[in-house]
Amino acid sequence: MNRRRQLCTFFLQDLYFGVEVEKVQEVIRYQEMTRIPLAPEVIAGLINLRGQIVTAIDLRRQLELAARPAGQLPMNVVVRRDDGPISLLVDEIGDVVEVEEESFENPPDTLEARRRDFIRGVYKLKDKLLLLLETEKAVSVAGAHAA
């Protein structure tokens, strides 16, 4: 039997990522952000989501990618969490795609360990690879970076 799952996809630099749809609360365009002095640098700031204050995590910084080019505004992928939603800042939003479990493969061993933590696996699509984001890891912030 073909097991399928739906992924909400987005782009980060040249990478194509997906998050399970049921974990995503909503996708919204760029929101004005309040930055937080002394906060760990992966935290981009706070946004106002209809009266709820949501912490935004810059996935580019989280994954140690190059900084977003100046002038390019990130989009928010708001993921649901037990302790309230968290927004992941991404470059661009893709479609919701349906993938087959057979096309799933674990991340290759050659991937650097610290990057590997963020990628649960790879779906081999016809024309490209879709990386399944480890949301747990993506929303976690390592200890106090505060100066």
Partner 1 sequence: MDDSRPDALSNPMDGMDEVIKEFLVESNEGLDRFDRDLLKLEKDRSSRELLDSVFRAIHTIKGTGGVLGYEKLVAISHAGESVLSRMRDGSLLLSPEIATALLNMADALRRIVEQIADSGREGDTDCAGVLEKLNAVLNGTKPEPAPNPVRPSVEPKVPPRLGDILVTSNACKPDEVEAAAKLQQEGDPRLIGEVLVARGAARPEAVAESLKLQSDHRDVVSNTIRVDVALLDKVMNLVGELVLARNQVLQFTANQEDSGFLSTAQRLNLITTELQEGVMKTRMQPIGNVWNKLPRIVRDMSVGCGKRVEVEMEGADTELDKTIIEAIKDPLTHIIRNAVDHGIEMPEVRAAAGKSRAGHLVLRAFHEGGQVNIEISDDGAGIATEKLKARAIAKGLIIADHAERMSERELLNLAFAPGLSTAEQVSNISGRGVGMDVVKTNIEKIGGTVDLQSTRGKGTLLKIKIPLTLAIIPALIVTSGGERFAIPQVSLIELVRCEREQAAIENIHGAPVYRLRGNLLPLVACNRELHLDSQRCSESVNIVVLQAGDRQFGLVVDEINDTEEIVVKPLSKQLKSVACFAGATIMGDGQVALILDVLGLAQMARVLCELREQALTERATAASENTGERESWLLFRIGKEGRMAIPLSLVSRLEEFSAAKVERYAGREVMQYRDRIMPLVRLAEAQGYAGAAESELLQVVVYSAGGRSVGLVVDEILDITDEAAQVEQIQQVQTIQGAAVIQQRVTELLDVPALLAAQNLSGVEGARA
Distance CA(12)–CA(2), nearest Å, equals 29
Q: How far is the CB of 30 from partner 1 (least distance, A)?
A: 14
For partner 1, which is the closer residue by CB, 92 or 101? 101
Do β-strands 86-90 and 52-58 pair in parallel, antiparallel, or remain unpaired?
A: parallel
In what side-by-side order are the strands of the sheet with 86-90?
A: 24-28, 75-79, 86-90, 52-58, 43-49
Length, in residues, of the chain: 147
- Could you tell me which stretch among 9-17, 66-74, 120-128, 134-142 binds partner 1 (CB under 8 A)? 134-142
Which phi and psi (to 5°) does residue 36 adopt? -115, 110
Biggest distance spanned by C-alpha atoms of the chain = 54
Give the x-and-dash track for 10-49 against partner 1 (CB under 8 A): ----------x-x---------xxxxxxxxx--x-xxxx-
> Does 5 sit near partner 1 (CB under 8 A)?
yes
Give the x-and-dash track for 46-85 against partner 1 (CB under 8 A): xxx-xxxxxx-x-------------------------xx-
For partner 1, which is the closer residue by CB, 37 or 108? 37
For partner 1, which is the closer residue by CB, 56 or 119? 56
- Residue 89 near residue 44, CB atoms below 8 Å: yes
Do β-strands 43-49 and 52-58 pair in parallel, antiparallel, or remain unpaired?
A: antiparallel
Give the interface with partner 1 as residue ranges (CB under 8 A): 3-5, 20, 22, 32-40, 43, 45-48, 50-55, 57, 83-84, 86, 101, 139-141, 143-147
